[in-house]
Amino acid sequence: MAGGELVIRAVENYLAARHAAGFELKSQSYLVRSFARFAAARDEKHIRTATAIDWASRTVSVAQRDARLKAVCRFSRYLRAEDSRHELPPPRHFGYRKTRPLPHIYSREEIHRLMDAALKLEPPHSLPAQTFVTLLGLLAATGLRISEALNLQLSDVTPDGLLIRKTKFQKTRLVPLHQTVAARMERYLQRRRQVRSSRQEVFVDDDRRPLRYWDVYRTFQKVLKMAGLSPSSGRRYRLHHLRHTFAVRALEASPAGRQRIGQHMLALATYMGHVNIDSTYWYLETTPELLRGIAIVGEAFLCGGRT
């Protein structure tokens, strides 16, 4: 078997193993297969750092080069478990560092304005209007991803909370609901169960079809204007920012004491379905109260004080 064919076969084995572990790998599959073809053209039996960097460099932006090279790095780590002749390229070769724009954290007054505006959607007592009001309130009260909320099935609403099935990171979790949120959901579900439809999604549109993200986005833009929170005010208001807001408010309510805050952070990461707690730590950047405490502890440590 030619050297290039070995790399291509190794890619398929790698992807099969990752898929079996529950990973979708849509973009990763494309990238590692593209790299395998590139290496095969050079008749290489093993991953070479120079080849990986050469392949990764053949794109426009530094971010794309970084993503391409890191895809090869993950592939190489898998192969090196059995054959150390595969080289591991330096993952930070291109020096790219991803930065996230800070989200808008809704004030309680802004959320009240959004809910009040949503209640005025026409016709106010129709199922579509009640659907959006319930969806908006659920996102604000639980920090769910919009995709998780739209994929909810009627059977996922249990007495113990919402069963969120295999979402962004193929994780399934139970999201408990505050009693007021549970009561509001039950009022909506009483109307939803009266809808004659073979579909089991919780949130449906006026055609009795599952609510689609694009429809939610358009309605949210309308509600923003009705609430006087349009982008013309100089701020960016996004639906996903409700998730950020929930996380920040939860961290601000953390119990006192570093150990208890750490436990609270771990619980929040589990509740929100983060695969890595680093994703939860990021919310600290928009939590001034906790950042102030971190700064005080850091200053005391640097000055020789006790932490």
Q: What are phi and psi of 161, to 5 degrees?
A: 135, -165
CA distances to 32, 260, 289 from 295, in Å:
42, 18, 10
How crowded is residue 11: how many other Cβ atoms within 10 Å of its Cβ? Answer: 22
The catalytically annotated residue of 18, 65, 68, 274 is 274
Nearest CA among 203, 199, 213, 204 for reference residue 162 = 203
Half-sphere exposure of 101 (CA within 13 A, CB side): 8
The catalytically annotated residue of 19, 168, 212, 258 is 168
The catalytically annotated residue of 145, 171, 173, 191 is 145
Q: Which two tokens stand for residue 84?
A: 């150390």
Q: Is 168 a catalytic residue?
A: yes
The catalytically annotated residue of 14, 78, 106, 283 is 283
CA distances to 68, 140, 143, 254, 273 from 148, in Å:
29, 13, 10, 25, 10
Q: Is 26 a catalytic residue?
A: no
Q: Is 283 a catalytic residue?
A: yes
Q: How deeply is 30 buried, as exposed, middle or buried, from its count of CB atoms within 10 A (0-12, 13-18, 19+)? A: exposed
The catalytically annotated residue of 45, 113, 243, 244 is 243
How many residues comprise the chain?
307
DSSP state of 274: -
Q: Is 145 a catalytic residue?
A: yes
Give the gyration radius of the chain's Cα atoms. Answer: 24
Q: Is 274 a catalytic residue?
A: yes
- By the 8 A CB rule, do 212 and 103 touch? no
Q: Which two tokens stand for residue 10?
A: 């190794």
Helix or strand run (H / E) with residue 114: helix 108-118
**Concatenated DSSP letters for 18-39?**
HHHTT---HHHHHHHHHHHHHH
Q: Is 240 a catalytic residue?
A: yes
b/e code 14-28 from CB counts within 10 Å (16+ = b): bbeebeeeeeebeeb
The catalytically annotated residue of 92, 240, 260, 292 is 240
- By the 8 A CB rule, do 271 and 249 touch? no
| Positions marked active-site | 145, 168, 240, 243, 274, 283
